[in-house]
Amino acid sequence: MKKNILLLFAFLILVSCTDPYTLQTNNYEEALVIEATITNELKHQEIKISKTYRLEETAPTTVANAEVFVTDNFGNSYEFQEQSDRYVSVDEFQAQPNVQYKLKIITDDGKSYSSTNETLTHVNPIQSVVPTVVTKNDGVKGVDMVVNSYDPTNSSIYYRYEYEETYKVIAPKWVSTEGIVTYYPGNVNPPGELNLVPRTTEARVCYSSKKSTDIILTSTNNLIEDRVNFPVRFISNKDYTIANRYSIFVKQYVQNLESYTYYKTLKELSGSGSILSQNQPGFFSGNIKCDSNQNEKVIGFFEVSSVSTKRIFFNYEDLFPGEPRPNYPFKCPEITPENQKEYVLKYCFSEVLDPNAPSCYGWDILYDIFHRVKVYYSGAAAIGSFITVYPIQCGDCTSFSSNIIPSFWID
Give the CA count within 13 Å in the CB-facing half-sphere of 62: 10
Tally Cβ neighbours within 10 Å of residue 228: 22
Whole-number Å distance between alpha carbons of 146 and 165: 14
Kindly report whether the peptide bond that precedes residue 190 is cis, defined as omega within 30 degrees of 0: yes
Q: Supply the pLDDT for residue 88.
A: 98
For the cut 70, the answer to whether the pLDDT of residue 211 exceeds it is yes
For the cut 80, the answer to whether the pLDDT of residue 23 exceeds it is no
Whole-number Å distance between alpha carbons of 333 and 331: 6
Comparing 381 with 342, the larger pLDDT belongs to 342
Q: Supply the pLDDT for residue 19.
A: 41
For residue 332, give Cα distances in angstroms to 124, 290, 378, 392. 47, 57, 13, 10
Give residue-wise pLDDT tens across range 83-96. Answer: 988 999 999 999 99
Looking at beta carbons, which pairs linking 27-32 to residues 24 or more positions away fall under 8 Å?
A: 28/54, 29/297, 31/296, 31/297, 31/298, 31/299, 32/63, 32/107, 32/113, 32/290, 32/298, 32/299, 32/300
Distance of CA 234 to the CA centre of its chain: 15
Give the CA count within 13 Å in the CB-facing half-sphere of 376: 23
Q: Supply the pLDDT for residue 269.
A: 82
Using DSSP, state whether 245 is helix, strand or coil. Answer: strand
By residue count, the chain amounts to 411
Comparing 189 with 210, the larger pLDDT belongs to 210
What pTM, to 2 d.p., does this model score? 0.82
Comparing 331 with 371, the larger pLDDT belongs to 331
pLDDT band at residue 177 using 50, 70 and 90 as cut-offs: confident
pLDDT band at residue 58 using 50, 70 and 90 as cut-offs: low
Provide the residue type at 398 as one letter.
Answer: T
Comparing 400 with 375, the larger pLDDT belongs to 400
Cα dihedral 263→265→271→273 (10° resolution): 180
For the cut 50, the answer to whether the pLDDT of residue 279 exceeds it is no
Comparing 138 with 185, the larger pLDDT belongs to 138
For the cut 90, the answer to whether the pLDDT of residue 401 exceeds it is yes
Most confident of 5-19, 143-157, 274-288: 143-157
Element holding 218 (H helix, E strand): strand 216-219
Give, in degrees to the nearest 5, the angle at Cα 293 between 291 and 297: 100
Buried b (16+ CB within 10 A) or exposed e, 133-164: eeeeeeeeebbbbbbebebeeeebbbbbbbbe
Q: Supply the pLDDT for residue 158.
A: 98
For the cut 90, the answer to whether the pLDDT of residue 393 exceeds it is no
User: Which residues are CB-neighbours of 211 under 8 A, at least 6 positions away?
Assistant: 162, 163, 164
DSSP letters, 345-368, are: EEE-S-SS--TT-TTEE-HHHHHH
Check if the beta carbon of residue 180 is closer than 8 Å to that of residue 194. yes
Comparing 198 with 12, the larger pLDDT belongs to 198
The structural domains of the chain, with segments of one domain joined by +, span: 177-204+328-399
What average pLDDT does the segment 383-406 reach? 80
pLDDT band at residue 165 using 50, 70 and 90 as cut-offs: very high
Give residue-wise pLDDT tens across range 225-275. Answer: 999 999 999 999 999 999 999 999 999 999 999 999 999 998 988 754 433
Average pLDDT score, the chain: 82
| Residue ranges in 40-169 assigned as alpha helix (H) | none
Tally Cβ neighbours within 10 Å of residue 217: 17
